[in-house]
Amino acid sequence: MSQDPTADAASPSDAAGDTELSGSTRARASMAEVLLLASVFVIAACGLVYELAAGALASYLLGDSVLQFSTIIGAYLFAMGLGSWLSRYIDRQLVAHFLRLELLVGVIGGLMPAALFTVHSLLPPSQALAFRVLLYGLVLLVGTLVGLEIPLVMRILKRHFRQRYALKELVSQVLTFDYLGALLVAVAFPLLLVPQLGLVRTGLFFGLLNVAVAVWALWLFRAELRAWRSHALTCAVAIALLAAAMAGADRLSTWAEDRFYGEQIVFKESSSYQRIVVTQGAGGTRLFLNGNLQFHSRDEYRYHEALVHPAMAAQGAPRRVLVLGGGDGMAVREILRYPSVEHVTLVELDPHMTTLFSTMPLLRQLNQDALRSPKLEIVNADAFGWLEASQASFDVIVIDFPDPSNFALGKLYTASFYRLVDQHLAASGYAVIQATSPLVAPRAYWTVVTTVESVGLTATPYHAHVPSFGEWGYVLASRRPWSMPRQLPPGLRFLSLESLPALMSFPPDMARPSGLEVNRLSNQVLVHEFEREWGKLH
């Protein structure tokens, strides 16, 4: 094969920049230029996917999404800068080096989610540090390789199309395509890619796109590459490896998640908001959101009876009830025990949750078809925004959000949010909040109490023992002190009038600590307290 020295080796004429393009190169200039710029678009898209996939997987497996995404993005950007700096040491065979880089990025980046998922499933919890080392090692490696790519593309464009570009135009063109690719992926990743493909297959799909860029380069510069057949064979091997992994991605994900959860998975889905997994074993059915247990069928009645009935029964004859969160329908099930209830509004962010729990027979049995009740109105919206827009008033408001493990959830435990709750609460009404464990996280729990009190509501703290969770805390909020109800609805399995007073009593190891701050949008102290206290368990 003939070789163009301006592509794979430095030469005096190249340094001077005076050599005319060869006839064959001039004939192919337009197509090659377009495809190289398109490759910048693909490279940027692939690089951001690997970064987002690593952050999402770290959040899913390790928790604390803000910390994980911040450190992953920081490490990745640092590595890209390192790669850009190292590119200065590549002087010869630019096309060949670019081709090798694309193959390495495609294979390593594409397989990274699958590899991390598999390793996490195999390692015992005591080896969490080893998993973090692997995670950040792969992020740094992929980031460095991606950082090498764009400088090489710019230099290849400059060498082959020097008559078409001044330096400022070259930089402008390349960075425009780079940022456009990043924009497309930033939008598509949470809304399309993860819900439709999942993290593992998303990584593999973009790995194949990286390898496709290598194949483009192989074809475009076929007359200029040394050892063309060797490069072609390497491309074929990379494609075969990623395609085989793609074909087995579902089996791998199922195996890894089965090991992670320790039970048979009967449903799994990635929505735009979270990873939803339902498992079934000898002990019953469990729901996990982003790897965190939400309920176990063997004792969820304890949690939901304690959540709903102290407020509902104390109100007396509630007619209009609002449920914020609680898309599984279990709280609605308990609310519908009261004949006085005329209308229930359920505001759940994720439509996948309400659809799942209103259609899957196993889950419909658990919530007793509560989500199909004619008294129920389901609104799939953000609770904060919905409260701001609504003018409705409610006799009881049940707030059943996931724990405040990140800032997106933490805003739903702020003074600003509780002011909105107060505005929608009838004069004789009660609101109730699930508020994490007062035993494991006393400062977090009592911060919720402090925040409720800061908006002028009377807070009544109480707790219940739920075997799957341990001691669990709740907070009643009202404009008047809570009073013991005269009766509870029939058929309860846990709560009774005799046991209610004990729920209001806190032993010394769950007593209210001093020095607590109000949780505000501007400080989000609750998230920090929650992560610090729960982090001691790991």
Q: Which of 399, 412, 404, 278 is nearest to 347 (CA)?
A: 399
C-alpha span between 266 and 251 (Å, rounded) = 14
Do 524 and 433 share a structural domain? yes
For residue 397, give the H/E element and its range. Answer: strand 394-400
For residue range 399-445, list pLDDT tens digits in order: 999 999 888 899 999 999 999 999 999 999 999 999 999 999 999 99
Range of the domain at 447: 299-535
> Which residues on neighbouring strands pair with residue 378, listed in sequence order?
346
Calculate the CA 411 to chain-centre distance: 17
For residue range 423-435, list pLDDT tens digits in order: 999 999 999 999 9
Q: Which residues of 276-291 are buried (b: 16+ CB within 10 A; e: fewer)?
A: bbbbeeeebbbbbbbb
- The stretches of 275-382 forming alpha helices (DSSP H) are 300-315, 330-335, 351-359, 361-366
Options 64, 395, 400, 403, the catalytic residue: 400
The token duo for 293 is: 């247990």
- 247 conformational bin, left if phi > 0, alpha if psi -120 to 50, beta if neither: alpha
User: Does 538 or 158 have the greater pLDDT score?
Assistant: 158
Give the CATH number for residue 269.
Answer: 2.30.140.10
Do 416 and 289 share a structural domain? no
Query: Which one of 230, 256, 282 terminates a domain?
Result: 256
Q: For this structure, is 350 an active site residue?
A: no
User: Does 11 or 142 have the greater pLDDT score?
Assistant: 142
Give the CATH number for residue 469.
Answer: 3.40.50.150
Do 308 and 278 share a structural domain? no
Assigned domain for 61 exists: yes
The token duo for 87 is: 């590119």
Whether 278 shows a pLDDT value over 70: the answer reads yes
Q: What angle do CA 110, 112, 115 make, to 5 degrees?
A: 125
CA dihedral 32→50→143→236, nearest 10 degrees, is -50
Query: Which one of 231, 256, 281 terminates a domain?
Result: 256
Whether 315 shows a pLDDT value over 50: the answer reads yes
Assigned domain for 248 exists: yes
For residue range 201-260, list pLDDT tens digits in order: 999 999 999 999 999 889 888 887 888 889 999 999 999 999 999 999 988 888 888 888
- pLDDT at res. 14: 38
Q: Which of 520, 529, 500 is nearest to 442 (CA)?
A: 529
CA distances from 204 to 65, 192, 200, 250, 370 (A): 23, 15, 6, 12, 40
Total number of domains in the chain: 3
Amino acid at position 315, single letter: Q
Assigned domain for 10 exists: no
